[in-house]
Amino acid sequence: MTAPEPAEPPAAEPGVTAAEPAAAGPDSAARPGAEPAEPTDADAASHSAALPGADLDGADLDGADLDGADLDGAEPAGALPTERAAAGVPGKRGRRRVAPAPEPAPVLDDAELRGALEAILLVVDEPVSELTLAQVLEQPAERIGPALDRIAAGYTAAGHGFELRRAAGGWRLYTRPEYATYVERFVLDGQSVRLTQAALETLAVIAYKQPVTRSRISAIRGVNCDGVIRTLVSRGLVEECGTEADSGAFLYRTTTLFLEKLGLNSVADLPPLAPFLPDDVEELADATR
């Protein structure tokens, strides 16, 4: 008898891809010309299950822009911008909100600036610089100097018993010299706080020769000046300002209080010594050498 021939598989319909076996062995090979089968819903479910905690249902990852995304601090869904700001959560892409720039200080008119300057000058206990006044009032520094000049000129023109003038690098109100006797009588009330002649001479040497050592001061005056210098230091008129490079002796100079008491802006305003020197000063200097 002739064996029956095996039945041929039905021909595939045009456009339909033949499904691959569910599990292929290690020796199995793809047939030439066969197209890979498209993944089914069951395959997608198995891949989703392989990612722990991943929920990609309905996620559209094609063309997603993840540059700069901050996934650690992800905000809860539906959070409003005000809620995010209150919780301190950064916005999208991890960017923090920029605080608005502070508003500039209002510019005072001339009358307000004059009043503010006068109020400050009435309470200061030492000369105050123009830069400090500008910082306190939050006004341009170039306005402070001319305003103070106008105030000083106004006091002088009105004939007040006080005046505004520069001293020790700043500005301060002072009583006028013509009323000094009345002020002295009121403040001192019979007390004497004048410096001795030795203290005045030593202070003058330091003022014109500063910085200067004790030995140099004593050589100029011809007597020991240690006690007088201690008195001037205790009064706040003289201070130490380092040491001499060669001998290591202390150097002394006048203080800001010295300038304030004399009504000077700097030591450069001291009067010249030439008119007070004797005519034969050079001969005297040669004789002492």
pLDDT tens sequence across 175-194: 999 999 998 888 776 555 67
Q: d(Cα 148, Cα 174) in Å, to the nearest integer? A: 14
- The answer to whether 263 and 164 are in contact (CB under 8 A) is no
pLDDT classification of 153: cutoffs 50, 70, 90: very high
6-29 average pLDDT score: 48
Q: 279 pLDDT exceeds 70?
A: no
Q: d(Cα 239, Cα 253) in Å, to the nearest integer? A: 6
- Let me know if the fold of 110-188 is the same as that of 197-288: yes
DSSP state, 190? T
Q: d(Cα 90, Cα 97) in Å, to the nearest integer? A: 7
pLDDT classification of 24: cutoffs 50, 70, 90: very low
DSSP state, 247? T
**What's the confidence (pLDDT) of residue 124?**
92
Q: Structure pTM?
A: 0.49
111 CB neighbour count, 10 Å cutoff: 8
88-102 average pLDDT score: 60
Residue 105 vs residues 51, 99, 129, 131, 138: alpha-carbon distances, Å: 58, 18, 20, 16, 6
pLDDT tens for 245-276 read 888 899 999 999 999 888 888 888 998 887 77
**Nearest Cα to Cα of residue 174 among 113, 264, 266:** 264
**Cα-trace Rg, the chain:** 47
Q: Which fold has domain 197-288?
A: Arc Repressor Mutant, subunit A (1.10.10)
**Nearest Cα to Cα of residue 232 among 210, 263, 200, 197:** 200
Q: Where are the domains of the chain?
A: 110-188, 197-288
pLDDT tens for 167-177 read 988 999 999 99
**What's the confidence (pLDDT) of residue 104?**
72
φ and ψ at residue 140, rounded to 5 degrees: -60, 140
The answer regarding whether domain 110-188 maps to CATH 1.10.10.10 reads: yes
